[in-house]
Amino acid sequence: MGLLKRTLQNIYPQDSDSRDRAKERLDQLALPHWSLGDLMDLSMDLAGITRSMDPPVARKAIITMAGDHGVVAEGVSKFPQEVTPQMVHNFVNGGAGINALARQAGAEVIVVDMGVAADLKQLAAEGKIINKKVGLGTDNIAKGPAMSLAMATRSVEAGIDIANDLADRIDLFGTGDMGIGNTTPSTAIAAVITGKPLAELTGRGTGLDDEQLAHKIKVLETILECNKPDPKDGLDILAKVGGFEIGGLAGLIIGAAAHKKPVVVDGFISSAAALIAITIEPFVRDYIICAHRSMEPGHRAMQEKLGCRPLLDLNLRLGEGTGAALAMNLVEAAVAILTEVATFEEAAVAGADK
């Protein structure tokens, strides 16, 4: 039995007893009932995910996965492909947006080469990145499938491997991405899984103008017509219209769920990975925390399909894991509410009249 199938056997829904115990405590806190709103809902989720009334979340990591995309040949991005390896070097040197926000959140940044179209062996040899390269970028999805089914499986299993390797020392996972052109495969995934029209889902990515946006929508129509992915088969969708880093992130999310660890899903690309993950195994959604709502118009439809409300809405559109790093502060806040706020009885405060 392969790693993916073995891992799926270890994924169960949140623990209802732990959720009930958390709700019972939260109901009695010395404040107007549920007045901390979504943070209290998150407290319950964290108790259910970790099976604990003191959910461990202190040891945090953003896993930023990088891969290139053959579809950039269709003119769907304002930036050239060589930006992907250049940004990997920037991550390693600590100078990217994700590095600043992860430092603020007390999270480490772990960079993974899933399929960058450049030789990054030296960085891997120096231990600065993890090498899980499946290929030198995907094939052009406007002309045919992104990758073979075997490569799709391998990319997902690479993400599971990383979750397994980190599970003993990381409590809270965050997802991040880097890959020029990756909003195009992500939009294709969103269209297949949500069933919404491309015009409603397609955004400007790195800053396309109106004419370039119209061209991107035409390219996406070609992609879906040419590949016809099966909406019920996550690996088929990934193989036909996905990306190596998207597969890796889907595997990371699946692996985190198997270890009963919360995973903070970043923006548009990470949400495409989460959609692949829940299509492979629906119970995975119980472990997903949606960090924020991106400026990409399709993100709302993706999060509705995932069944989660974002914690933040800050007009972010960078990716890298930046929204996940910001949201980790709120995850820690939700644990503090559950563990540090006194109940009416503990505080000797009179409760509300019945």
Task: Name the pLDDT band for 351 (thresholds 50, 70, 90).
Answer: confident
DSSP string covering 245-260: HHHHHHHHHHHHHHTT
pLDDT for 354 equals: 62
With a cut of 80, say whether residue 245 has pLDDT above it: yes
- Which residues, 6+ apart, have CB-to-CB distance to 131 below 8 Å? 112, 113, 120, 121, 124
Q: Which residue has the tokens 């297949």?
A: 192
The pLDDT tens digits of the residues spanning 277-321 come to: 999 999 999 999 999 999 999 999 999 999 999 999 999 999 999
State mean pLDDT over 175-182.
97
Q: Rounded mean pLDDT of the chain?
A: 97
The pLDDT tens digits of the residues spanning 105-139 come to: 999 999 999 999 999 999 999 999 999 999 999 99
Alpha helices in the chain (DSSP H): 3-8, 16-27, 37-50, 83-92, 97-105, 121-125, 149-166, 183-194, 198-201, 210-227, 234-241, 244-258, 268-280, 299-306, 322-340, 344-347
Task: Name the pLDDT band for 1 (thresholds 50, 70, 90).
Answer: confident
The pLDDT tens digits of the residues spanning 247-280 come to: 999 999 999 999 999 999 999 999 999 999 999 9
With a cut of 90, say whether residue 40 has pLDDT above it: yes
8 A C-beta contact, residue 320 and residue 176: yes
pLDDT for 206 equals: 79
Instruction: Name the more confident of 206 and 101.
Output: 101
Asked whether this chain's domains 3-54+338-347 and 60-333 adopt the same fold, the reply is no
State mean pLDDT over 202-213.
90
Active site residue 126: no
Domain ranges of the chain: 3-54+338-347, 60-333
Instruction: Name the more confident of 169 and 78.
Output: 169
- The verdict on pTM exceeding 0.85 is yes
- CATH architecture, range 60-333: 3-Layer(aba) Sandwich (3.40)
Task: Name the pLDDT band for 207 (thresholds 50, 70, 90).
Answer: confident
Pairwise CA distance, residues 212 & 76, whole Å: 7
8 A C-beta contact, residue 66 and residue 179: yes
Classify 3-54+338-347 by CATH class. mainly alpha
With a cut of 90, say whether residue 353 has pLDDT above it: no
Of 157, 281, 296, 320, the catalytic one is: 320
Pairwise CA distance, residues 340 & 333, whole Å: 10
With a cut of 70, say whether residue 225 has pLDDT above it: yes
The pLDDT tens digits of the residues spanning 8-20 come to: 999 999 999 999 9
